[in-house]
Structures are given as structure tokens and as C-alpha cells.
Amino acid sequence: MSSSPTSTLVDVTMPQMGVSVAEGTVVAWRVETGDRIEADQTICEISSDKIDTEVPAPASGVVAEILVPVESTVEVGTVLARIATGDGGPVASPPQSLDGEPAGPTRTETPSPSPAPQAPSTARSGNGHRRYSPVVQRIAAEHGIDLAQVPGTGRGGRVRKQDVLAFVESAPVEEPPLHIESPYRPDPVSAPVVSGDGLSRMRRQIGEHMKRSLDTTATCTTWIEVDMSRVEAARKRLGVTGLAFVARAVIDAIREYPALNAWLDGSEYTRHTDVNLGIAVSLGEDGLIVPVIARAHELSVEGLAARIRDVAKRARARELTPDEVRGGTFTITNPGQYGSIMATPIINLPQVGILDFEAVVKRAVVLTDAGGNDSIAIRPMTILGLSWDHRALDGALSAQFLAAVKRNLERV
Amino acid sequence: MEWVLLWGGSLMPTLTYLQAISAALRDELRADERVLLMGEDIGVFGGAFKVTDGFVDEFGTERVMDTPLAESGIIGTAIGAAVVGMRPVCEMQFSDFISCGFDQLVNVAGKMHYRQGLAVPITVRLPSGGGFSGGPFHSQNPEAWFMHSPGIKVVAPSTAEDAKGLLHAAIHDPNPVCFMEHKHLYRRVKGEVPSGVFETPFTARVAQPGSDLVVIAYGAMVPVALEAVSDGLDGASVEVLDLRSLVPLDEEAILDSVERCSKVVIIDEANQMCAAGAQVAALIAEKGFESLDGPVVRVATPDVPIPFSPPLESAVLPGVDRVREACRELLAY
């Protein structure tokens, strides 16, 4: 959509988000071409390596052009969009034509060729000149509506209940992210339905591997609750993750119950002396990979933490070598950073066990002291889930193994 | 069904508001020997408005008692009778005259239960309201005086059916009840009324459903509200809520209407200051705030005595035009 010769175009550029940041990615547009926008209102969300932020509109006006699509990464200073200030006539969408706002000279001055400085618009943008009734504010809050976008048909352009209800019905707003730092982003509206053919090669491989495991193994899952008080204290002291402690506790438990550190391939059962520990690493939408920390039993908690950090980083950078994802004898999966508390993991063939470590959650628990007296305390608790292959071992052994892991973690 | 059929009743005769009140009294006198009527000229003369015309012939002077012109005596005697088990129904010839019986009603009847634990099941009928050039002593709407006084219930029907059902419920109620019967409705309002004894609950009634604005009214202001919104108000969907009972006030029904409509016009024929509608407005401000899409608008009689002069009287009483204008203004807001 082109701009009118009577209006001035203002560029919206990719801002510098940090000293060392040279580029940024457009995560979402909050406006569409033709939308009216007020100065300082968020026009889009952007993301750099680690930082997500919002780009405010540099001026009030109408969005004339959007130049950078969502998910595109561009250099700092690149023009993302242009805002036509002033009249805005050529791009005004039909709802705006009904808009008789009190301080808005935009309509009455339509025929005027004046470049319309920002002053009249900013008078409104301070939020002080447009008031909303309780019910209008409530409906807007419930539906996440920016009331500045709603044309008012009440006296003096006031936004009435029916206006905001009509806005809700006519223009369902795009679902916002749950939180600016949330990894969740709504699916693009025009996203095509993903067909079987649309799956990536990695996805297909994961699917085949998982299905083969379920078809082959006699999978059973056992859970145990663990008091993570000592781990929490120790990991803060050492500056490492809880996962490293769980890994060490698992290795020590494997020493007691080596039946878990084994392969069962068809009818061939092999116990291993070395613990080659697989750590599941999520690659986001692409899938999941399990790099293996060879001879993990030789590493301390700090050593494990460093290795886990290293393989996870290189896994996400797609820098793992084929050797690094082979030869695992036992696997740990740790999706708990999202708050989930239990899962039934699928055994990573030909291994016979996989341990699931989820979120650590504060809970009220009953403690019994040496004298047999009960009391209630707040403790950081987690639930460890062990999926094991009933062809290779039995439930009693898996429970004993979990109890050993629990004991190791509670004695840290 | 808004009423509960207790016994009898088959066909639904069409009665005026006044005939419905008479029918309720007659049915009660026939059904319950504890019921008796007291009032000025209600016996041989049949009452100033002929509500009890012919009653004395059927029920005798002991149950339809002509009293001296002393409201304090009427209500005081009724209280005594009620305490020993009777169900007296007192008629104030005009509601304006109840100020003479104020102390008995407010300080004795209203507080008896709290002080002595005794029930005072009396009903005080209050022919109220203006619109007929009755002047300052014969046109008042004193319901708010009693709303402000704990221990007394206040009801105000707007239809013939509710007049009968609310009067039955008032007589059965163990508390003192002020029954506000609007003189202007006596012969103007007609409707089908179930025969026999039935009770209308002390709750509000949606007289006309709507979704853009609700007019809250009671008594004679209900037909005014219905007429005011009858031309559709430019296509708006306007609800009319008939309160029917002022004490207890049906908060649930009021807040439900406000939640759906978000704009409210409240009508009082009474003087504006501290009228029933003021309590409704306060309730909405406190508990319905988040539903509001505009100011709560009141239409009431200004704080002046009701003038005798017909043009002046019609100027002060809320009429169809004033209500319609208030609705238009608020709808446009």
C-alpha cells in the first residue's frame, strides 16, 4: 500500500539491543498495514540471541508498510516498517472511517494537505484523554484488546460496551505469547497443516526409533519421590545444575545395580562396566538428540556438569560428531524446566533403562525425626521416573535402583 | 411461574389492581379466622377507595373494624393483636397519614422481635402515590422511611396479579410488612389474577427482557417505564426490572440485569433524596461496578412536596417523556 504524498513517512528500524549485538529477529508484528498506531505503542516484538524486546512506534500515524516478515533476522538499523504520519487518509481502513474521536482532527482535516505534525495525536496518546468505563476495560482485559484500536460510537467518540464487543467479534486479535520470555509462540495463522511428508528427517527418525522401542520392549515405569534440599543447596554452592547431581547419583546407583547398565538386543543381553551416560537434549521444534558422555563414571559432579553443558551447547549448535551420540548404556532425560512433574519416558534401545528428571517443586512433606515424631516441612521435592524393560529386569530391582538414587541424592 | 398456588384456584379472572387487593383480603378472611381488618371507614362505608366494599356484611364488625381517626391507635392495637396470635391487616386511608402511626410501626412493631423475641405479623396497607391532584398530604410515597428502619418489610406491586400474590405473602409473613398499593394503579391496571390463595415471592421480576439498558422501577413507575421504552428507543433492547419488593431488595436480580445490560436508569416516584432507587444505585456502584458502561442515572421526583396544581404535579412526577429522554441520553453515552 503506498503512502499519500500529503503524509510523511517515518521509518521504524531494528534497534541496537546490546553493545555486541549486530542483528535481531522479528518475532511478531502487533499491527498490520493500514492499522492506526500511537507513538510509543508497541509495533513489533524482536529477539536477539537471548533478549526479547518490543519496538515502540517512533510516531503516531498509520502503518504504511511492513518490510520485514516474522522470523526474519536483519542487521541493526534495517528499516522494519514505515509509519505514515499526519492525515493517514490513503491507508485508513474502514473502521477508522467511523472513528469520531474527540481529539482526533484526522477526519475533519482529511481534505487538508497539511503535513499534520504529531502534536494533535500525541495529545491523545498519553492515555489521559480517552477514558473507558469499567465494563469496557474488563472486556478489553479479558480479550487482550488494546482499546486505542477500538473505534468508539458513543458520545464524543467514546468506546461503548457494544463497540468493544463488536471489535472482539470482528477482529479476533492474534494470540499473544504467554510471556515475553516464554518459548511458546502462537502458530502463524496461515501455517499449512503439517502432513506426514512435511516431517523433517530427524522427526521421522525419532518417531521410528520411539515406536520400535515401544513395539519391542516391555516398558514399565516406576516413580520415586526425592527430597532435593541438599542437592538444591549444593548446586547453588557449586554453581551447577541439579541434573549433574542426578547423573552422579544414577552412576553410583548403577554401581550397586549393574543390571540397569546394559543392552538387550533381541535375545542378546550385555552388561557394561563403563557408564556411558546419554543426556537427552531438546533441539526445539527440530527434535531431540541424545549425546553420550563416555566413561561418565570417572567424572565428578562438577565434571559431569561441565560435560553436560558442553554437549548440550554443541548439540544445539549442530556440532556433535556421530561418535558422540553412540554407545550410550543408560539415559537421563530432563524436561523439567517447564514445570512438568512426571512422565513415562520411552527406553532408548538397546538400553534397558531411562531416568526422567522433571521439575523440583516445593511441597509440604511429613518428616519423622529420630524420636519418631512427625512434623510438616516445606521441602523442594522431585519425582524421578524410571522406565525399565521388563524383559531384562523386574520391578523389585527397579525400585531398589530408584531407592539408591534417592538415597544418593538425599545424602549429597 | 412466579407464584405458588397454595390451594383452590382454577380459572384466571381478569381483575383490576384494586379488585385483586379486595380479592386477596376476602380470600384471607375466608381462609384464616386469625385475619382481621382495621381502618378508618373500612366497614360500613367500604373504605375510601372501596377496597373493602361489602366486607362488613360477610365478615361482621369484629373482623372488619372501623377505627377512630388515629393511626397510632390502629397500628398499636394491631401489634397487640398480632402478638397474641392474630393476623391484622391495617389500612391507612392514605399512606401520608402513617406518620401519625410512625412510632408504633418503627419503634414497636419493627423492634419487637429484636427486643422481646416476639413476632409481629401485621400488614399495613398504604395507598400511596400521586397523579390525581391530591396535593401534598395525599400523594406521597413514604416507602423509604420504612426501608430505613430495620425489622419492617416493604413491598410494592405494579400488576394486579402481584398485588394479590404479594398481599397474601405479606399477611402470611411473620414480620411487619408495609404493603405499598399505588392509588393511580387501582383502576388503571388490569390483568388475569389466579383465584384462591397464592404467594408472590418478595423478589424482583423482569417485566420486559432486554440487553442494552435496564430501567429499574417499582409500583406505578413500572407501567411508566414500559410505556417509555415501548417505541423501541431507536431499536435499542431495553429491559424493565420490576423490583416488587424493596425490603428485602433482590440484589441478585438487580446485579444480574446490570451485568447483562451495563447501563441503568432507576426511577422513583418518591422524592429523590434517599429514595429506594438511591439504595439500588448504591448497590450497583458497590457490587456491579465492573459491569457498568455508563453512569447510573436516576429519574425521581425533585425534593419538593407534591403540588396540588395539575400542571405543576405532572412537571415534578417522573413521566414517560422524562424516562424516555433519560434512556436516550444514556444509550447514546
**Computed over its alpha carbons, how large is the radius of gyration of chain A?**
29
Answer yes or no: do B123 and B220 share one domain.
Answer: no
Give the mean pLDDT of B305-331.
Answer: 96
User: Is B291's CB within 8 Å of A135's CB?
Assistant: yes
HSE, CB side, 13 Å, CA atoms: give it for residue B96: 13
* Positions of B marked active-site: 138
Answer yes or no: do B269 and B153 share one domain.
Answer: no
CA of B259 vs chain A CAs: smallest distance (Å): 9
Answer yes or no: do A77 and A204 share one domain.
Answer: no
Answer yes or no: do A65 and A159 share one domain.
Answer: yes
Kindly state whether residue A2 falls inside one of the protein's structural domains.
Answer: no
pLDDT, tens digit, 9 for 90 and up, residues A282-296: 887 778 888 999 999
CA-wise closest residue to A316 among A356, A346, A286: A286
Q: How many CB atoms lie within 10 A of CB B82?
A: 22
Q: State the pLDDT at residue A109.
A: 39
Distances (CA, A) of A39 to A55, A59, A119: 11, 4, 11
CATH number at residue B42: 3.40.50.970
Answer yes or no: do A151 and A88 share one domain.
Answer: yes
Answer yes or no: do B222 and B113 share one domain.
Answer: no
The domain of B245 spans 205-332
Answer yes or no: do A142 and A207 share one domain.
Answer: no
Cβ-nearest to A135 among B212, B262, B333 = B262
Are B83 and B48 within 8 A, CB to CB? no
A–B interface: beta-carbon pairs under 8 A: 29
Element (H, E) at A84: strand A79-85
Answer yes or no: do A12 and A113 share one domain.
Answer: yes
Kindly state whether residue A191 falls inside one of the protein's structural domains.
Answer: no
Q: Which residue of A has its CA nearest to B212?
A: A162
User: Is B294's CB within 8 Å of A133's CB?
Assistant: yes
Answer yes or no: do B153 and B217 share one domain.
Answer: no
Are A378 and A359 within 8 A, CB to CB? no
Alpha carbon dihedral A34, A40, A45, A50, in 10-degree steps, equals: 160
Model confidence band, residue B9 (pLDDT cutoffs 50, 70, 90): very low
Q: φ and ψ at B203, to 5 degrees?
A: -135, 165
Answer yes or no: do A126 and A34 share one domain.
Answer: yes
Answer yes or no: do A102 and A51 share one domain.
Answer: yes
Q: State the pLDDT at residue A116.
A: 38
Answer yes or no: do B78 and B162 share one domain.
Answer: yes
Model confidence band, residue A129 (pLDDT cutoffs 50, 70, 90): low
Q: State the pLDDT at residue A41.
A: 87
CA of A212 vs chain B CAs: smallest distance (Å): 57
Reply yes or no on whether the pLDDT at A8 is more than 70.
Answer: yes
Q: Provide the mean pLDDT of chain B.
A: 95
Reply yes or no on whether the pLDDT at A94 is more than 50.
Answer: no
Looking at A174-183, B38-47, B98-107, B140-149, which range is the least confident one? A174-183
Q: State the pLDDT at residue A336.
A: 78
Kindly state whether residue A103 falls inside one of the protein's structural domains.
Answer: yes
CATH number at residue A73: 2.40.50.100
Kindly state whether residue A156 falls inside one of the protein's structural domains.
Answer: yes
Model confidence band, residue A73 (pLDDT cutoffs 50, 70, 90): confident
Tell which of B178, B199, B220 closes a domain: B199
Tell which of B168, B199, B230 closes a domain: B199
CATH number at residue B210: 3.40.50.920
Q: Please report residues of A whose CB lies closer than 8 A to that of B291.
A: 134-135, 138
Answer yes or no: do B107 and B228 share one domain.
Answer: no
Q: Please report residues of B whose CB lies closer than 8 A to that of A154.
A: 332-333
Answer yes or no: do A203 and A159 share one domain.
Answer: no
Number of domains in chain B: 2
Enumerate long-range contacts of A394-399, CB under 8 Å, 24 or more apart: A395/A220, A395/A222, A397/A257, A397/A259, A397/A260, A398/A220, A398/A222, A398/A260, A398/A353, A399/A222, A399/A224
Tell which of A170, A190, A216 closes a domain: A170
The domain of A316 spans 199-410
Q: Please report residues of A whose CB lies closer than 8 A to that of B293.
A: 133-136, 160-161
Q: State the pLDDT at residue A338.
A: 83
Model confidence band, residue A51 (pLDDT cutoffs 50, 70, 90): low
Kindly state whether residue A320 falls inside one of the protein's structural domains.
Answer: yes
Kindly state whether residue A182 falls inside one of the protein's structural domains.
Answer: no
ipTM of model: 0.75
Answer yes or no: do B195 and B218 share one domain.
Answer: no
Looking at A121-130, A206-215, A318-327, B54-63, which range is the least confident one? A121-130
Give the mean pLDDT of A331-351.
Answer: 89
Cis peptide bond N-terminal to B248, omega within 30: yes
Kindly state whether residue A183 falls inside one of the protein's structural domains.
Answer: no
Give the mean pLDDT of A5-17.
Answer: 77
User: Is A134's CB within 8 Å of B292's CB?
Assistant: yes
Reply yes or no on whether the pLDDT at B61 is more than 90.
Answer: yes
Tell which of A127, A155, A170 closes a domain: A170
CA of B249 vs chain A CAs: smallest distance (Å): 24
Q: Please report residues of B whose CB lies closer than 8 A to that of A133.
A: 262, 292-294
Q: Provide the mean pLDDT of chain A.
A: 80
Looking at A85-94, A170-179, B187-196, B265-274, which range is the least confident one? A85-94
Answer yes or no: do B164 and B227 share one domain.
Answer: no
B 206-225 residues with CB below 8 A of A? Answer: 212
Q: State the pLDDT at residue A22.
A: 75
A48/A28: higher pLDDT = A28
A122/A48: higher pLDDT = A48
Q: State the pLDDT at residue A70.
A: 86
Answer yes or no: do A103 and A216 share one domain.
Answer: no
Q: What distance in Å separates the CA atoms of residue B83 and residue B29, rounded to the nearest whole number? A: 19
Reply yes or no on whether the pLDDT at B153 is more than 60.
Answer: yes
- Residue A136 sits at the chain B interface (C-beta within 8 Å): yes
CA of A130 vs chain B CAs: smallest distance (Å): 14
CATH number at residue A321: 3.30.559.10
Answer yes or no: do A217 and A279 share one domain.
Answer: yes
Answer yes or no: do A139 and A268 share one domain.
Answer: no
Reply yes or no on whether the pLDDT at A115 is more than 90.
Answer: no
Model confidence band, residue A74 (pLDDT cutoffs 50, 70, 90): confident
* Greatest mean pLDDT range, A4-13, A264-273, B277-286: B277-286
- Residue B332 sits at the chain A interface (C-beta within 8 Å): yes
Are A101 and A109 within 8 A, CB to CB? no
CA-wise closest residue to A384 among A364, A366, A409: A409
pLDDT, tens digit, 9 for 90 and up, residues B114-129: 999 999 999 999 999 9
B 242-301 residues with CB below 8 A of A? Answer: 262-263, 289-294
Answer yes or no: do B102 and B88 share one domain.
Answer: yes
Burial (Cβ within 10 Å: 0-12, 13-18, ≥19) of residue A12? buried
Answer yes or no: do B189 and B222 share one domain.
Answer: no
Mutate to test the interface with B, among A135, A139, A162, A164 (most CBs of B within 10 A): A135
Number of domains in chain A: 2
Reply yes or no on whether the pLDDT at A330 is more than 70.
Answer: yes
Answer yes or no: do B54 and B155 share one domain.
Answer: yes
* Greatest mean pLDDT range, A227-241, A304-318, A367-381, B214-228: B214-228
pLDDT, tens digit, 9 for 90 and up, residues A356-367: 999 999 999 998
Model confidence band, residue A232 (pLDDT cutoffs 50, 70, 90): very high
Looking at A205-209, A218-222, B43-47, which range is the least confident one? A205-209
Kindly state whether residue A187 falls inside one of the protein's structural domains.
Answer: no
Answer yes or no: do B83 and B57 share one domain.
Answer: yes
Answer yes or no: do A248 and A388 share one domain.
Answer: yes
Model confidence band, residue A219 (pLDDT cutoffs 50, 70, 90): very high
B4/A84: higher pLDDT = A84
Give the mean pLDDT of A347-361.
Answer: 93
Tell which of B164, B199, B234 closes a domain: B199
